[in-house]
Amino acid sequence: MLMGGNASGGNVGGLANPNGRPATTLWGQENTYIEITLQNVSKLTGIEAFLAHHEITLADAIAFGDNYNDQEMLEAVGLSVAVANAREGGESSSQ
């Protein structure tokens, strides 16, 4: 995570791997930080691995989020909650 700067909200790009496909995803939030993750790694993939290990379905999972990088996770679980200070757009993902 990089602090500072004026990144636009949401996915702000990525770094390419040698074959030209995106290898990373950059998430920005105005005046606070840029988060860099591997292209195939997200909060959702982490939850999916945890749930598979414990034999729990996504439909039976609950997730809480407040930012753009939570949207995929919030849309995939059975019950999602956008916290009170959620970024605009994040709360539209809650069910």
The Cα 48–Cα 50 span in angstroms is: 6
For the chain (95 residues), the mean pLDDT of every run of 10, in chain order, is 50 53 63 71 92 97 88 94 73 51
The Cα 93–Cα 74 span in angstroms is: 6
Closest listed residue to residue 64, CA positions, set 90, 89, 41: 90
Res 16: pLDDT:
52
Strands of the chain, DSSP E: 2-3, 10-13, 24-29, 33-38, 62-65, 79-82
What's the pTM? 0.63
Res 54: pLDDT:
96
Residue 54 makes CB contacts below 8 A (sequence gap 6+) with none
In sign, the C-alpha dihedral spanning 39, 43, 46, 52 is negative
